[in-house]
Structure 1
Amino acid sequence: MTDTRKTALIVGASRTLGLGLAAEYLRRGWDVIGTVRGSRRTGLHDLAETSDGRLTVESLEMTEPEQISALRDRLGRRTLDLLFVNAAITRGDLPIGEVPTEMFTEVMMVNALSPMRVVESLRPLVAPNGTIGVMSSSQGSIALNTRGGQDLYRASKSALNQLMRCHAARTAEDTRTLLLMDPGWVRTELGGPDAELSVEESIPGVAETIERHRGKPGLHFLDHQGQVVPW
């Protein structure tokens, strides 16, 4: 019998949104590969122990290009139906003129450059009718920014969106679906305790939106309810 289970690679799956997405795709019957940083035990390892072998844990530090290449080599014989990159840090709410150069470089590296390096490097592993998604944010929307604040975080997500747009334009003939996903304001370390949504309320909508757009080539900027987010 041919195994028809789909395979998802969730990059950045050790906790909160990434871990929730890995768990959601397991619930949907997929095989899942999830990445964590370093060798420390995480919630993803706990999830793998209860997955009946359907979840594989890989180590990846996205800011190290050689580790991205090594992961691509290790997965070279796998075909992915979904590649989803989840990465974001913030370093406080400072006006941009007060942001140290080292902080600017770190946030841009983690939130914008590194996810795109993963997309560019691992794209050949994704099936022609597969999906490549990146966790963005409505805070990356220039049109929605009417209050300011979180200057560096907003800028990093806007940069991510623009870089994905560049990738989409450069690969315009590609049949894969490209998604920028806004999970909503979620109670994570990043979102804070006063956020509107729990991970359990956000992630099923994220996964459903991803699946609803399968087979729709081009780049789409969407939220967890499937609504278009203004650029």
Structure 2
Amino acid sequence: MVNAQGRWALITGASRGVGYETAIFMAKQGCNLILHSRSLEHTKIVKEEVQALGVDAYCVQAELANHEEVVAMLDDIEAKATPVDIIFNNAAVQIAYRTDYWQTPVEDFDMSFRINFISIATICHRLIPKMIERGFGRVINTTSGIKNEPEQAGYAASKAALDKFTKDLASRLEGTNVMINITDPGWCRTDLGGPNAPGAVENVIPGIAVGAFVDDKKSGRFLHAQNFTGMTLEAAVAKAETIEANPYII
């Protein structure tokens, strides 16, 4: 199992919901954190909380729909010479629920793909080569189990694109100590999931982060966070490593 103590993790959407839970959990493992949100003010409190747990942390900002801001955020991280060892691409947007899905506006697709896919591809393309050079890296991309809902076509399609992108990259990382996997937090009570979701956001731990700790050099796994609820991290890692890692099958 990977020892995260002293390593650096970038968490997008770290100010609330699943991103917040991930930040607190990783800090408890001794992992230093780069906390992303749309505004530095949004991550101020979580930064104080994780630093109180004894780790180093700083905040970065970017509107993920704006490619120039994503690039500027990555430039900022690079300027600080931070060796990003772990990436949690958590942030996402669910634009709208279109009852008349035949009238879904193109803007739904445009915004969904900008935030849920293009920003993540940009982050991966920028940071994974450096992981390969250093000989270590873990990337966890957050997908969604949503299906058969054309009412949320933009969101669902952007997540499907992310799944395909992740699996294709996984095929190029086999045998390296850089691993990329997919996680699904399930339907949780968050700002995105809404108040009627069946799951408490706390239940995503430790499953949402288990991909950072697997250590068998296999990529392309689908790790559903709810399948690890209540487990110790050690037990969760052992279970995760029994899941087939096939870059071409979800």
Give the shorter-chain TM-score range: 0.7 to 0.9
Residue 215 of structure 2 aligns with which residue? 214
Residue 103 of structure 1 aligns with which residue? 108
1:111 is displaced (CA, Å) by 1.1
The answer to whether the 8 Å contact 1:33/1:58 transfers is yes
Q: Secondary structure at the match of 2:205?
A: helix
Return the letter of the residue paired with 1:78. T
- Give TM-score scaled by structure 1 length: 0.82
Deviations 1:70-92 (A, max 9, x none): 33333332222211111211122
Return the letter of the residue paired with 2:52. T
The answer to whether the 8 Å contact 2:40/2:59 transfers is no
Return the letter of the residue paired with 1:138. G
Alignment of 1:164-203 (within 5 A): 164-169=166-171, 174-203=176-205
Alignment of 1:1-231 (within 5 A): 5-42=6-43, 43-48=45-50, 50-52=52-54, 54-76=56-78, 77-94=81-98, 95-126=100-131, 127-139=134-146, 145=147, 149-169=151-171, 174-207=176-209, 209-224=210-225, 225=227, 226=240, 231=250
Return the letter of the residue paired with 2:120. P
Return the letter of the residue paired with 1:210. G
Deviations 1:11-70 (A, max 9, x none): 221211111101110011111111111343344344356344522112223233333333
**Total equivalences in the alignment:** 223
The answer to whether the 8 Å contact 1:44/1:57 transfers is no
- Give TM-score scaled by structure 2 length: 0.77
Q: Secondary structure at the match of 2:42?
A: coil
1:114 is displaced (CA, Å) by 1.4
Q: Going by fraction, where is strand more abundant, 1 or 2? A: 1
Q: Going by fraction, where is helix more abundant, 1 or 2? A: 2
Unaligned runs of 5+ in 1: 140-144
Return the letter of the residue paired with 2:138. T
1:182 is displaced (CA, Å) by 0.5
Q: Percent identity?
A: 27
Rounded to whole Å, the distance in 2 between the matches of 1:47 and 1:128 is: 30
Return the letter of the residue paired with 1:19. Y
Deviates more, 1:153-162 or 1:95-104: 95-104
Cα 1:165–1:151 change in 2 (3 A) is same
Cα 1:155–1:26 change in 2 (3 A) is same
Cα 1:107–1:167 change in 2 (3 A) is same
Unaligned runs of 5+ in 2: 228-239
